[in-house]
Amino acid sequence: KLSLFGQYQYYNNRDDKFDNWSQYREAYQVGLSMTWNIFDGMTSIARDHQSFQQSVQSDKSLVQSRLKAKQDLEFWKRKYNYYGTVFKARQSDVVKAEESVRLARQGKRVGTRTDTDLLDAESELFKARAGLVNAQMGALESLVNLELTTGNKFLSFN
């Protein structure tokens, strides 16, 4: 640390009278001051070590993030493919349940089926449609997470 300083004094040290102006003298002092720490309690070494450890920690965090991104990419790809397959299966379940409802209605009309059979068939249709919606939601969740992982936009909702 480098400092520049200056000082002016008007003083009387010849006698004890404060109103004897002829005995007063002037003094000027100008200088340059420099200070440095020879021993700082090892704080500079500690700061250096701390910054090095932070650098190592951020490098390891970057490596972990890259590994997690690769793992997430594979996970969400598999999950998206899985829900795509489940969606196709649920579509066929809905078609089968609709056919069961149609047959139950026809059977009720002819008198071979009861209201309970029709209600059971409609219940199965609703369950199949719920499974279809759940498969759509799972595929959509997987797609959104896949977009987040890759940074690419695959689907626009506008």
The answer as to whether 44 is a domain residue is: yes
> Does 131 lie in the same domain as 92?
yes
* CA 140 and chain centroid, separation: 21
Number of structural domains, the chain?
Answer: 2
How high is the pLDDT of residue 104? 95
Here the tokens at position 79 are 């999950």
> Does 123 lie in the same domain as 74?
yes
Amino acid code (one letter) for 82? Y
On the question of pLDDT at 11 being above 80, the answer is yes
pLDDT, one tens digit per residue, over 39-90 is 777 888 899 999 999 999 999 999 998 888 888 889 999 999 999 999 999 9
> Does 72 lie in the same domain as 140?
yes
Q: Are 146 and 76 in contact (CB under 8 A)?
A: yes
How high is the pLDDT of residue 23? 81
Share the mean pLDDT of the chain: 90
> Does 125 lie in the same domain as 74?
yes
On the question of pLDDT at 148 being above 70, the answer is yes
Q: How confident is the model at residue 21 (pLDDT cuts 50, 70, 90)?
A: confident
> Does 48 lie in the same domain as 110?
no
Query: For residues 154 and 8, which has the higher predicted lDDT (pLDDT)?
Result: 8
Range of the structural domain that residue 103 is part of: 68-150
Q: What long-range pairs does 78-82 form, CB within 8 A, spacing at least 24?
A: 79/138, 79/142, 79/145, 80/139, 80/142, 80/143, 80/146, 82/138, 82/142
> Does 73 lie in the same domain as 50?
no
Average pLDDT rounded to a whole number, residues 86-101: 96
Residues whose CB is less than 8 angstroms from the CB of residue 6 and which lie 6 or more positions away in sequence, other chains included: 28, 29, 30, 31
Average pLDDT rounded to a whole number, residues 1-5: 88
Q: Are 43 and 68 in contact (CB under 8 A)?
A: no
Distance CA 56, CA 121 (A): 63
